[in-house]
Structure formats: C-alpha cells, structure tokens
Structure 1
Amino acid sequence: MPSYRSIFVAVGLVFLSAGAASADCLSYGIDFQNGGQYFINKALAQNFTSVSQFEGCSAGYSDVLLVDPTGEEYVCTDIPVTPDDVSQLSTCPIFKSQMFSGEWKLLLLGNNGPKNASFAYERDLFLTVGEQITSTITSTVTWNVTTTPIITTTLPSTVTVVNTAQNNQTITSPSATARRTITPPAVTSTLTKFFTRTRQSFTKSLKVVTETKTASCTIPPRPKYPDPKATFIPTKPKFAAYTSLIAVQAQGADTPTDPVEVRRRMREARLRRGMEVPERLLEHQLGKRSPDSPTVFVNADTVVNTTITYTAPARTTTEYELTTLTSTTTLPPKTVFSGRQTITVTAPTPTKTRTALAYTTITKIATLYKTFTFTTTITPTASVSACKHRGGHFPGH
C-alpha cells in the first residue's frame, strides 16, 4: 500500500504538469491589479467587488477568494472565463465599511473546462481603508488694471498788479480858468484761466455662468503581465481540489510562510515595480489609481477677486505757478486855477488786472468685463453601475 507521502507527491506531479499547461489560460486584474496600492472608502456600505479579464481559456468559471491581512477568507461570486478580454465582475461578502488597511489577496481558481488543466492565480494588494476627505476649491478671478501716474511740473508766471494812489497836493496856477481833476477809484478785473484734469477710474463687471457636464468613466488599462501563480493555500473546503497545485507553485516560488517576511517581500516587489511611494505622495498615487477616491473636490459657492495693477509710463502735465508783482503809481497833484470859472475833469478810471487759475476734474470710467464659468458634474446612477462592471470609476466615487 503506497504511503501518504507518495500519494501527495503523485498528486503534486499531476498538478505540476497541469500548471504548466494552464499557462495558456491567463487572468488579468482591471480595477485591482497585482502589486498595486488602493484606497477604500470605509464610509460606503457597499460590497467589495473586483473586475477581471481572461485570455486563452477554454470554458467554465473561475472561483474568486478574497483574503484579508489576518488570513480570513471571503468566498466571492464566481465569474466566467470566456470570452477573451471581457471584463467580469465578482462581488465579495464584505462591505467596504468592514475592511481595514493592510495586505490583501485575491485568488482566482478554476478548472478551465473538464478537459483542460486547472489554474490558480493570485493578486497581492495593499489597501488603505479610511474616510474620504472633502476639499473645497475656491476659484479666483484676476483683474488686470493699468494705471498711469501723473507728474506735475510748474511753469512760473508773473502777474503784475498796478495800484494808483491819490495825490492830495493842490497846485494853484494863476489863470482865469480854474480846472480840477478827479480820479475815480480803481476798478479791479479778474482774468480766470481754466484747466481740465482727467482722472481714470475702473469698475468691474463679473458674470458668473454655471454649466453642467456628465462625468466620464475612467477605466485602467489592462496590465502588461497576467496575474502570478497563487502561493496562498486556502482553507475553505470548496477549494480543497486546488491545495496540491498551489502547494507545488508555492514550493517553486520559494515563498516564505512567516507573515513578516511575506510583507517584506511584497514591499520589495512594489519597490521594484515603482509602486512604493512616500507618505506625502501616497494620496496622489491612490487618487490616480483607486476605484474609491481618497479626496473629493468641490467648488466654493463664491469667486475670489484678485486685482493685479500694472504701472504705465508716467504722463507729465504743466501747471502755472503764479507770482504777483504789485507796483504803485501816484497821480500828479491837483491843479487849481483861480479865475472866473472852475472846470472839473474826471480822469479815466484806473484798472487792476488779477489772474486766477481754475481746475476742472473729469473722471473717466472704464468698465472691465469678465465671465467665470462654474462647472457642475453629474454622475447618473446607471452610468456608475455600468462603469463599475467594466472595472472603472468616476472621479469622487
């Protein structure tokens, strides 16, 4: 009677040869790809799902198994392996709100039809589970205003004011006719010069327009390489038929069983793939690849106005600077002639001229017009479901 060891080796050899033949039946991850890091929104009471594609398979279905970092196993819905390159959605019996951060695994196990070799593939994932952050984006409208400084130069101008003084001295001249000259008080006239100053003023007219667009579904490209062979041995009785196949694959891969060593090797694998990123870049990396977005961006209701002032070349204006020069002229003495008749003569009225400057300021108003468009993105529920089945996601979902 053969020993247990010989039976195990014999079965292992059968699966080993089957594993070689199963290379033609390949699986690919679409939304969750081997070695990737992803964000899971724990606020969602939705089942965890994964999308896969198959290539080169004959017939049948693939069983899907989700394994959490503690080794707990979740049997997900099985998916068909044909036709080629068609996305197939599997739903797992765990809500996203029940998940936690760490190293997760997805196993795809199938018999590839009754006449073909079985296959067992595995995707190693690092899931960051947390609450989604809402970030508010405040839009800014920039106004460009150009001002022209004014340089004022003065032009000296002299205004001469002549005052006429009365002469109270009287000269008596012997004559038959007496004549008296009377000079009226001086009359002052004012000459006003008008100048116009122009001042520039700006008003702002902002028109806010809201438009609506439909969000687009982002589907990650299929990875270049298929899923690697599974090394994790499930404990569920449903998968007992694959135990020997996976054991042989694990021996060939020299896979450690120590959890610390497993995590170390997974980190090294991500580094080789360029997947390991610093914490400050992790959110950007997760947001770029995740079915769930770690951050949702919303627009603020108001628009911030920013004014940028540019200074144009200065403009020079000239203004008069008045200097008053006053001179006094004394009238000749009064001449009185003695005689039969006195004649009174009124001299011309003396005049004084003063110059005054008057300025008028004109405000020239220029209106700046701008239109700012708020874009509101809508995501129909039916579109979200269809996108999810294809392995894609919408921004913010």
Structure 2
Amino acid sequence: MVSSRFISLSALAALLSLVAADVNSTCYSYGVDFVDEESYFINTLSQDPFTCVSTFQGCNPSMAEVLLVEPNGDESFCSQLNTTADNIPELSTCPVLKSQMTSGDWIILVLGNNGDGNPFAWERDLYLDCGPQATVTVIPTVTYSITKTPTITSTITVTNTTTLGPTATVTLPSATKIQTITPKPVKTTTTYSYTKTKKIMSKELLITTKTVTASCTLPPKPSKPDKPCTYRPTLVNPSALATPTGKAHKFHRYSRKVDRAVDVEYARNRMESAKLKRDRKAGSVAPLIQERAPDAPTFTSTAAIPQNATTTMTAAPVTESAFSTTTYTLQLPPVTVLDGMLTSTTTLPAVTMTRRVVVYTTITTTKTLAATFTRTTTTTPSASATACKAFGGHIGAGRI
C-alpha cells in the first residue's frame, strides 16, 4: 500500500504549473513570417495551405486559438498554438489553400485565456498581394579572351657584287709584252631560310553541372508584438473582448455583432465536421501538404546554354625579318699590252657570282581558348524544407 505522503508525477507537475501561474501576467504574441501592418506576396500557383508562424512571451501554460479573416469577412479556424515556451516559433495551418486566396486586407487573430492570467485577443492586419509567381530566366555570358600580337618587320639587306673583266686591250710600245687572261666567273648559291608562325584561335566551352541545396530565408526576429484586437469575430467571443480593459476597441470594416459568437471548441468541432463532410462528398480528402511561409514574387532560373562574348587584348609586338638584295657591278679598266721582246701573261682572279635564295616556311599552330560554365541545379530535401518553413522561412535559390 502506497503511503498518502506520496503523489503521482503528473499530479506533481500539475501542482507545480498552478504554483508557477501568474494571475497578473500578460501573454504577448509576435508575428514571425507575417508581421502586423505589412504587405506580402502569395503565390496562387501553389496548392499549399496558408500558414503563419507566431512566438509568445510572458504566457501561462495554455493553448492559443488562431482565426483567419478573409477580405470578404469569411472566418476560418487554424490549428492551435502552444504559448508556454517564450520565443519559440509555433506554426499554425489554416484550411485555406494559397490558390484560393485573393488580394486584399487579411486579418490573423490570436486569442486565448492565458491559463490563470489575463485573457488576450491580439490582431495582425496584413495586405496580401495574391497572384502567380513570375519566372525570370537569366542568360549568363561566357567571355573568351583573345590576345592579339602585332608584328614589326625588320629588313635585312643582302649585297651581291659582280666584277667584270676588262673590255679592251691597249698596246704600248715597250720591250715587255704583258698578256692578261680572265678566267670564267665562279657561280655560287646562298640560301636563307626563315620560318613564320601562324596562330589559329579556336573556342572550346566546357559545361559542368553543380547541384546545390536550396537556401532557407528566415525572417528577422520579431521586434513588435501584435496590437490589441479591434475586430469582432463571429465564430467565437473572446474573453478579452467581452471584458475589455484600457482603451475602447475600434471595429474593423467587416465587424459583426457578438451575439453570434459561440464557444471555441464547439465552433471548431462544427467547422471541422463540415469540412470533413465536404471532402468525403467530393470523393477524396486533401493530402497533407508541406507548410510554406510568404512566397517570393519571382523565381530566377539560369539558362542551360550561355551566350558568348569575346574580349581582345594587345600583347607585346613580335619582330619578323625580311630580306632585300642589292646588286653592284664593277667594271675593270682596259688592259695595257706592251709590245716588246718579253711577253708576260697575267691571269686575273676568277670572278665570283653569288645567287642568294630566301626560303620561307610557315608553321601553323592552334591555340584553344577554354571557358568553363557551371550549370547549377537546386535540390530541396524534404526534411530541410519542413524545418525551414516551421521557422517561418521560405525556400529560395541555392548559393553557389
């Protein structure tokens, strides 16, 4: 038999929560992905349900009701939120698909009794721009760099000298006779070789594919709490509005009379039962869809094939040699012959005739200009997407 001095752990936890409750506490709510009096874009191409993320401060252990009010005044209960932990994002899912939403003024109401503390009724006024998300395609440019090398021509002069023998003989009276013999010219050939290099530029594009994980864009930490509720809902009569404190409440343009308000649990059960009947009558129940935060108005994609561009740079000049030939002809003076007793024969040196030949050889080289284009594909793991959206973020393009 267990002694009466011992109690169960659950009873002890309940007792401690009662002791910790502050009857004078004020429970504040903050918008994370949707902030009061701000504008947001909703992608109507999405079949996801509308969701909103809130944080709480100074609350006793309790649950908060979330009510979504459309521009035409229709109201919908969203999933409840736990208010106990301070500054912890809590996600609420509403029974309204983004594809069903229209542009206009929307209201999010956060209501609760705050346990044993002051009841609260907070309001979040939003303007939602609802429409299809636009897709922008960016065509990247791959730039090829071509180096242009100027050519400077240097001229080399080759001199050819030809010596011709005497064309006449002069005879003078003398005792000595001189006879001159001119041999035939000796012909030689000199060949000069010069090599030219011709460069041909070719383009080569290397495309690589890189897969990155989509990035999660988280909103900044909420800095201002939701304002006191000025809208009179029809589905529920919050205690904070039934016994208002402080300044008088203003009424929204879609305000309704409070005599239509009913108990929260009764209203929620009635709406959920009616929705289930509609789904069954349609033949299927809508599948569970990943929650999402405010959407990006545009989606940017990169074209698979980039366009080409060419830049030209000038390098240091290169000097090429060219040959020119200059020919000189020397004429020997007439030969003098003396008529006498002695005959002297003189043989002139042989004349050398040089023929110079310039041979050009062209070598063609091909230089390949390589450019690499990285095509990035983005993958979004379901676990990463769920964690991102639960914190009020939205999935965007990956970072390279």
TM normalised by structure 2 equals 0.67
Deviations 1:191-233 (Å, cap 9, x if unpaired)? Answer: 2212233445555555433232322333223211211111122
Letter of the 1:311 counterpart:
T
Deviations 1:334-367 (Å, cap 9, x if unpaired)? Answer: x9xxxxxxxxxx9998653232322333345555
Once residues 253 and 106 of structure 2 are traced to their aligned partners in structure 1, the CA distance between those partners, rounded to angstroms, is: 15
Match of 1:385, SS state, is: helix
Letter of the 1:361 counterpart:
T
Is the 2:182–2:350 contact (alpha carbons within 8 Å) kept by the matching residues of 1?
no
Change (3 A) 1:217 1:256: closer
Is 1:52 paired with 2:59? no
Letter of the 2:218 counterpart:
I
Deviations 1:225-259 (Å, cap 9, x if unpaired)? Answer: 211111122233x236554457x67x547678599
Matches within 5 A, 1:10-29: 24-29=26-31
Is the 2:165–2:182 contact (alpha carbons within 8 Å) kept by the matching residues of 1?
no
Matches within 5 A, 1:99-248: 99-113=101-115, 115-155=116-156, 157=157, 159-160=159-160, 162=162, 189-203=188-202, 206-236=205-235, 238-239=236-237, 241=239, 243-244=241-242
Once residues 372 and 44 of structure 2 are traced to their aligned partners in structure 1, the CA distance between those partners, rounded to angstroms, is: 40
Deviations 1:133-189 (Å, cap 9, x if unpaired)? Answer: 22223333334443331222434x2533638699799x9xxxxxxx9x8976x6754
CA drift of 1:119 comes to 0.7
Letter of the 2:100 counterpart:
Q
CA drift of 1:24 comes to 2.3
Match of 1:373, SS state, is: strand
Change (3 A) 1:318 1:111: closer
Is the 1:28–1:54 contact (alpha carbons within 8 Å) kept by the matching residues of 2?
yes
Per the alignment, residue 311 of structure 2 pairs with 308
- Consecutive unaligned residues of structure 1, counting only runs of 5 or more, are 1-20, 172-178, 260-288, 336-345
Question: Among 279, 302, 310, which residue is 1:299 paired with?
Answer: 302
Letter of the 1:99 counterpart:
M
Change (3 A) 1:52 1:290: closer
Once residues 94 and 313 of structure 2 are traced to their aligned partners in structure 1, the CA distance between those partners, rounded to angstroms, is: 62
CA drift of 1:58 comes to 1.0
Is the 1:39–1:290 contact (alpha carbons within 8 Å) kept by the matching residues of 2?
no
Letter of the 2:232 counterpart:
I
Match of 2:216, SS state, is: coil
Is the 1:22–1:118 contact (alpha carbons within 8 Å) kept by the matching residues of 2?
no
Once residues 120 and 232 of structure 2 are traced to their aligned partners in structure 1, the CA distance between those partners, rounded to angstroms, is: 13
Match of 2:306, SS state, is: strand
Change (3 A) 1:117 1:165: same
Letter of the 1:160 counterpart:
N
Change (3 A) 1:93 1:256: closer
Letter of the 2:63 counterpart:
Y
Once residues 371 and 318 of structure 1 are traced to their aligned partners in structure 2, the CA distance between those partners, rounded to angstroms, is: 35
Deviations 1:21-73 (Å, cap 9, x if unpaired)? Answer: 87720101111111222111001122111111112111322221222233332
Match of 2:392, SS state, is: coil
Change (3 A) 1:22 1:205: farther
Letter of the 2:106 counterpart:
W
Letter of the 1:359 counterpart:
Y
- Consecutive unaligned residues of structure 2, counting only runs of 5 or more, are 1-22, 172-178, 256-291, 338-346
CA drift of 1:94 comes to 1.6
Per the alignment, residue 289 of structure 2 pairs with none
Letter of the 1:27 counterpart:
S
CA RMSD between the two structures? 4.5
Per the alignment, residue 80 of structure 1 pairs with 82
Is the 2:231–2:251 contact (alpha carbons within 8 Å) kept by the matching residues of 1?
no
Q: Aligned pair count?
A: 338
Moved more, 380-389 or 357-366: 357-366
Once residues 158 and 208 of structure 2 are traced to their aligned partners in structure 1, the CA distance between those partners, rounded to angstroms, is: 61
Once residues 140 and 194 of structure 1 are traced to their aligned partners in structure 2, the CA distance between those partners, rounded to angstroms, is: 45
Once residues 140 and 29 of structure 1 are traced to their aligned partners in structure 2, the CA distance between those partners, rounded to angstroms, is: 42
Change (3 A) 1:395 1:23: farther
Is 1:375 paired with 2:365? no
TM normalised by structure 1 equals 0.68
Match of 1:394, SS state, is: strand
More helix by share: 1
Change (3 A) 1:182 1:148: closer
Once residues 320 and 60 of structure 1 are traced to their aligned partners in structure 2, the CA distance between those partners, rounded to angstroms, is: 98
Match of 2:303, SS state, is: strand
Change (3 A) 1:245 1:123: farther
Match of 2:383, SS state, is: helix
Change (3 A) 1:396 1:208: closer
Match of 2:388, SS state, is: helix
Once residues 396 and 348 of structure 1 are traced to their aligned partners in structure 2, the CA distance between those partners, rounded to angstroms, is: 93
Per the alignment, residue 35 of structure 1 pairs with 37
CA drift of 1:387 comes to 2.4
Once residues 366 and 162 of structure 1 are traced to their aligned partners in structure 2, the CA distance between those partners, rounded to angstroms, is: 47
Match of 1:302, SS state, is: coil
Once residues 329 and 34 of structure 2 are traced to their aligned partners in structure 1, the CA distance between those partners, rounded to angstroms, is: 103
Letter of the 1:385 counterpart:
T
